[in-house]
Amino acid sequence: MSDIIVTIVIMLAVFLPMGYMMMKRKNGKSAEIKEMMASDGLTPGLVTELNNLTLAMDRNYTYAYKLESQHHTVEKIQLSDVASCEVIKGYEHGVAHAMDVQLLTAVSIVFKMKDKSQHSWVVFDNKKDEQIGSDLLDAQDFVHKLKNHIS
């Protein structure tokens, strides 16, 4: 019985600080972008946190924001100027064990503007990032929601 109690206490001592740090880190990025949006007079709506950046749209769907964690750079795009947007994936082809293999090397969100220009937000680059995790799916979900509000 005492072994079980000791095991539970050790597990709590290990996992609670890890969980706290993970939640604190995520809330920090999301709070930072919400503060930026509030300083622009906008109410935060959708906020999507990825490994190296945070994407957000205001509640009225007038602007899309990107906050890059490593360089603390912020980009803002007015959605009324966007004609379309999509997630672009880059692959590298190779052969392993006599099979053709495709390795995902890059993921970007590309905004095609009404004035025929383009803006690209890099979500994943295998030269900088080790793993993509769920960033591809999260980026696709963000773009899907964004497309519903592009005029």
Kindly tell me the burial class for residue 92, based on how many C-beta atoms sit within 10 Å of its own C-beta (0-12, 13-18, 19 or more).
exposed
75-100 confidence digits (pLDDT tens): 999 999 999 999 999 998 888 788 88
29-63 pLDDT per residue, tens: 678 888 888 888 888 888 999 888 899 999 988 99
| Strand 63-68 to 44-49 pairing | unpaired
Q: What is the mean pLDDT of the chain?
A: 84
Q: Locate tokens 């004035």: which residue?
A: 115
pLDDT band at 4 (very low <50, low <70, confident <90, very high): confident
Whether 129 has a pLDDT exceeding 90, the answer reads no
Task: Of 12-26, 74-88, 100-114, give the lowest mean pLDDT range.
Answer: 12-26
Q: Kindly indicate the confidence band of residue 21, based on its pLDDT and cuts at 50, 70 and 90.
A: low
- Give me the pLDDT at residue 64, please: 92
